[in-house]
Structure 1
Amino acid sequence: MIIPIADLSEDAVLNIIEGFVLREGTEYGEADVSLQQKVQQVLTQLTSGEVLLVYSELHETVNIIPKQQLGEFELSETLQQ
């Protein structure tokens, strides 16, 4: 299920993004990118709709996925139920 970020408080969205960034261990090459910058980049992507905030009822988790992967996410949720 897609969670509209407008339905959450700003603090909740930022905490979810921070957890995602720390969990994903994203690679930014040789340039050092601060946690704040990474969070801002993901927030920009969420705001633009490039990535989506989704809730898995099956796993009771929240994740951030590229919009193109929404179909795969929904299919995996359906197959595993």
Structure 2
Amino acid sequence: MAARLFRDISKLMSKSTGDITKRKRPPAAGTPVLVRLQPDLLGPLDKAAAELSEASRPEAIRRIIKDWLIGHGYLTH
């Protein structure tokens, strides 16, 4: 009985693991850049992200950098 229960649980786990694997995000284009921010920048970053309606810090950082580069003539629209 225990052996059968173990097999049944193993089958269920392997199926659920397969489903999780299928839901992974595709690899993102671009080069990862690690940036450490001090605590005094995190609050303002989170506030800016909320005001920009960005869902995450990385999205807010990308938007802020892009806007700065455009504003200073380093990047065109």
Same fold, TM-score > 0.5, yes or no: no
Q: Which has the higher strand share?
A: 1
Structure 1 length normalisation: TM-score? 0.30
The structure having more radius of gyration, on CA atoms, is: 2
Relative to the length of structure 2, the TM-score reads 0.31
Whose helix proportion is higher, 1 or 2?
Answer: 2
